[in-house]
Structure 1
Amino acid sequence: MTADLAPRLRVDRGMPSDLSRVPGVARDVERLGYDGCWTGEIDHDPFLPLLLAAEHTSRLEIGTSIAVAFARSPMTVANLGWDLQAYSAGRLNLGLGSQIQAHVEKRFSMPWSHPVRRMREFIEALRAIWTCWQDGTRLSFRGDFYTHTLMTPMFSPEPMPYGQPKVFVAAVGEAMTEMCGEVADGLLAHAFTTKRYSDEITTPALQRGLSRAGRERRDVQVSCPVFVVTGDTEEAMAEAAVPVRKQIAFYGSTPAYRKVLELHGWGDLHAELHRLSKLGQWDAMGDLIDDDVLGAFAVVAPLSDVTDALRVRCDGAIDRVLPALPATLSDEVVESVLTRLRTTDEGSPR
């Protein structure tokens, strides 16, 4: 990875949504040497665990991957982001996602339209609000989707010394990816991404956005989860591959991610996975993920080689990686993998 892309590969981990577990897990994640942790908005609130993670760590970055932007207004997200940034002493990465139309309208009962334009405006509104709070300037944001023109001293939080939170945006399609290059601080890539898709679709689209805005590649961090199949024996690797095949099959059955399979000539696989998903045949779906498909979406390597394989997967495309290491690995093995992953062949930090 060249110096103008990222000075060092950062290695992150997911954080549980069970609040009772967060303090212990956060301490362990920091002790093992991870750089950051992320929470998702699935069946629990994504922000509450971050408060606990910040409280029980001192250097670990915290972030949402993702919070559903269109389920909220920029003002409510601005408040949450401001308070977490202040409490964590500047460690927040605010990750936003659009979700899909059905969820926004039918689950959250919120409006949906022009997701790329709306997301751009959401970010611009956030920054206008934060600038108002930090600098005491008049709030006067008027857009096509959001308007924020009222802010009195009673409702303005205190300025803080840590700067605005970094804003990451989840993107799979080229239009949202280009928008990230223009206005975001980071891009949250989906786990259902191959090295080829990153090189041929994501990176060029990101660069187009950067070029339009006169920005450099180093101005945007790309974060991506990566499936990992590893072990110290063939039997261990085969066992580790089973849940990964099922997860890849699940994502592959989703129409929104069909284009990734089609890039590899696997469009028929999507059609069959989608058919089986309608029948609830989840185990059969996993059986359709052969070694070629597995190797495209996951890093598959024995423990002795997994660090080098992860580096190859990330090089030139990923700045922050969330390696989905098998849960069976001991803390000592995980710590060793992390240390080697963040160190060059010459022994110096990346």
Structure 2
Amino acid sequence: MEMEASMAGRLQIDSGVAGGLASVPEAARVLEHRGFDGCWAGETNHDPFLALTLAAEHTSRIELGTNIAVAFARNPMSVANLAWDLQAFSQGRFNLGLGTQVKPHIEKRFGMPWSEPTERLREFVEAVRAIWTSWHEGTRLRFEGRFYTHKIMTPMFTPDPSPHPMPRIFLAAVGERMTEMCGEVGDGLLTHPFTTRRFLEEVTTPTLQRGIGASGRDRSEFQLTSPVFVVTGETEEDLAEAAATTRRRIAFYGSTPAYRKVLEVHGWDDLQGRLHELSLRGDWTAMGELITDDILSTFAVVAPVDRVAAGLTERCVGVVDRVIPALPENLSGEARVRIVDDLRAAAIREPA
């Protein structure tokens, strides 16, 4: 069964908010003013929940979400509390995006246990929903799993009732087992930027459909969200700089064994090993030089500002529901507004 994107009339256009907390209010206001549909905060060198609290305070329409919060660095109860409060504070605009991170970071950076990531994340989601159901319906909390147990919930620790629905849960996935599980228990999938339309069509979407089918739901109840590298600029120099930066990013991700299958789909099997060897030597410049124009244009939309929307539309419409264009940092506000406006107009004209 062919899987089509669930968008109702148009592709939703999202962006990220990054940096220190002092910059978040203005950044979120700007995204909302420019017409973006969603604002995502990631967990790298800052906490995403704190950033989105500020974003919620200074916006009124735009959706807010974590992309991603590291699930295994926390526990289901603490995440359930954070998400419940943000859903209430944002008046129903919050999406909880969770990911596993990788074993070395979980064990050596966060000091937390790692095992069976797919099944552990599945149970994490089930536990969070069980906690929310207890709060929402006033029922007794009795969750007992292999990894998590939650059986105590007294009135003192129960949040105030909320008029809003439970937050949607988006899960990050690359491998097929995690992707299928995401279709079974998630409300949306957050893809990695190191992906292509062909990989989405041939690998991700059929796998996701198996999971959605197993859950007894329809594709229209699910959202696939994808970041996309964009190489553009308002001058030839800006475009060349954006291309060089993106080549290095593609090379960095391509050196990771977990992403080898994306390269294999395109017949670039040997590239991952060569990139990995160079990464061990710290030769980042040489890594970027291995990313040819063909590879660059496969992983990124490469176009002048007035053609970016057409490129994003060609890459996304009919496959994903939400796109996060990774625009160059030095792109002007006017150029960003034009791309968003053009993309919205182009996506609306395309059949859903």
TM-score, normalised by the number of residues in structure 1: 0.96
The structure-2 alpha-carbon separation of the partners of 1:175 and 1:2, relative to structure 1 and needing over 3 Å to count, comes to: closer
SS at match of 2:129: helix
SS at match of 2:98: strand
Give the Cα–Cα distance (whole angstroms) in 2 for the partners of residues 148 and 2 of structure 1.
Answer: 38
- Residue of structure 1 in register with 2:105 after alignment: 103
Give the Cα–Cα distance (whole angstroms) in 1 for the partners of residues 164 and 350 of structure 2.
Answer: 29
Establish whether residue 49 from structure 1 lines up as the match of residue 51 from structure 2. yes
Stretch of structure 1 that moved more, 229-238 or 246-255: 229-238
Q: Residues 66-77 of structure 1: matches in 2 within 5 Å?
A: 66-77=68-79
Stretch of structure 1 that moved more, 36-45 or 123-132: 36-45
Q: CA RMSD in A?
A: 1.8
Which amino acid is 2:224 matched to? V
Give the Cα–Cα distance (whole angstroms) in 2 for the partners of residues 202 and 257 of structure 1.
Answer: 13
- Residue of structure 2 in register with 1:8 after alignment: 10
- Residue of structure 1 in register with 2:25 after alignment: 23
| Contact residue 17 and residue 46 of structure 1 kept, 8 A | no
Establish whether residue 114 from structure 1 lines up as the match of residue 119 from structure 2. no
Give the Cα–Cα distance (whole angstroms) in 1 for the partners of residues 208 and 350 of structure 2.
Answer: 29
| Contact residue 180 and residue 206 of structure 1 kept, 8 A | yes
Query: Which of 203, 221, 232 is the matching residue for 1:219?
Result: 221
Instruction: Provide structure 2 residue ranges, at least 5 long, that are not aligned to the other structure.
Output: none
- Residue of structure 2 in register with 1:324 after alignment: 326
| Contact residue 9 and residue 351 of structure 2 kept, 8 A | no
Give 1:17 shift: 3.4
Establish whether residue 194 from structure 1 lines up as the match of residue 196 from structure 2. yes
Give the Cα–Cα distance (whole angstroms) in 2 for the partners of residues 74 and 346 of structure 1.
Answer: 38
Q: What's the CA shift string for 1:63-117, capped at 9, x where partnerless?
A: 1111110111100000000001100001111000011111111211111111111
- Residue of structure 2 in register with 1:271 after alignment: 273
Identity of aligned residues (%): 61
Give 1:231 shift: 3.2
Give 1:305 shift: 1.9
Give the Cα–Cα distance (whole angstroms) in 2 for the partners of residues 268 and 168 of structure 1.
Answer: 32
SS at match of 1:112: coil
Q: Residues 125-274 of structure 1: matches in 2 within 5 Å?
A: 125-232=127-234, 234-274=236-276
Q: What's the CA shift string for 1:25-64, capped at 9, x where partnerless?
A: 1111111111111111112212100000000111111111
Give 1:255 shift: 1.4
Give 1:222 shift: 0.8
| Contact residue 86 and residue 162 of structure 1 kept, 8 A | yes
| Contact residue 10 and residue 348 of structure 2 kept, 8 A | no
The structure-2 alpha-carbon separation of the partners of 1:349 and 1:145, relative to structure 1 and needing over 3 Å to count, comes to: same
Q: What's the CA shift string for 1:2-30, capped at 9, x where partnerless?
A: 68544321111111130011011111111
| Contact residue 66 and residue 97 of structure 2 kept, 8 A | yes
Give the Cα–Cα distance (whole angstroms) in 2 for the partners of residues 257 and 29 of structure 1.
Answer: 31
SS at match of 1:62: strand
Which amino acid is 1:120 matched to? R
Query: Which of 280, 284, 287 is the matching residue for 1:285?
Result: 287
| Contact residue 4 and residue 217 of structure 1 kept, 8 A | yes
Equivalences, count: 350
Give 1:193 shift: 0.3
Give the Cα–Cα distance (whole angstroms) in 1 for the partners of residues 211 and 246 of structure 2.
Answer: 33
Give the Cα–Cα distance (whole angstroms) in 1 for the partners of residues 322 and 168 of structure 2.
Answer: 14
Give the Cα–Cα distance (whole angstroms) in 1 for the partners of residues 102 and 4 of structure 2.
Answer: 35
Give the Cα–Cα distance (whole angstroms) in 2 for the partners of residues 106 and 175 of structure 1.
Answer: 24
SS at match of 1:342: helix
Give 1:141 shift: 0.8
| Contact residue 317 and residue 350 of structure 2 kept, 8 A | no
Instruction: Provide structure 1 residue ranges, at least 5 long, that are not aligned to the other structure.
Output: none
Give the Cα–Cα distance (whole angstroms) in 1 for the partners of residues 170 and 114 of structure 2.
Answer: 20
| Contact residue 116 and residue 176 of structure 1 kept, 8 A | yes
Give 1:142 shift: 1.1
Give 1:217 shift: 1.2
Give the Cα–Cα distance (whole angstroms) in 1 for the partners of residues 347 and 10 of structure 2.
Answer: 13
Q: Which has the higher relative contact order, 1 or 2, with Cα contacts under 8 A spaced 6 or more apart?
A: 2
Give the Cα–Cα distance (whole angstroms) in 2 for the partners of residues 16 and 87 of structure 1.
Answer: 20
Give 1:262 shift: 1.7
Q: What's the CA shift string for 1:127-159, capped at 9, x where partnerless?
A: 110011111000011111111111000000011
Stretch of structure 1 that moved more, 28-37 or 233-242: 233-242
Which amino acid is 1:182 matched to? E
The structure-2 alpha-carbon separation of the partners of 1:116 and 1:343, relative to structure 1 and needing over 3 Å to count, comes to: same
The structure-2 alpha-carbon separation of the partners of 1:91 and 1:258, relative to structure 1 and needing over 3 Å to count, comes to: same
| Contact residue 173 and residue 191 of structure 2 kept, 8 A | yes
The structure-2 alpha-carbon separation of the partners of 1:103 and 1:4, relative to structure 1 and needing over 3 Å to count, comes to: closer
Establish whether residue 65 from structure 1 lines up as the match of residue 72 from structure 2. no
Give the Cα–Cα distance (whole angstroms) in 2 for the partners of residues 309 and 126 of structure 1.
Answer: 38
Give the Cα–Cα distance (whole angstroms) in 2 for the partners of residues 251 and 96 of structure 1.
Answer: 20
TM-score, normalised by the number of residues in structure 2: 0.95
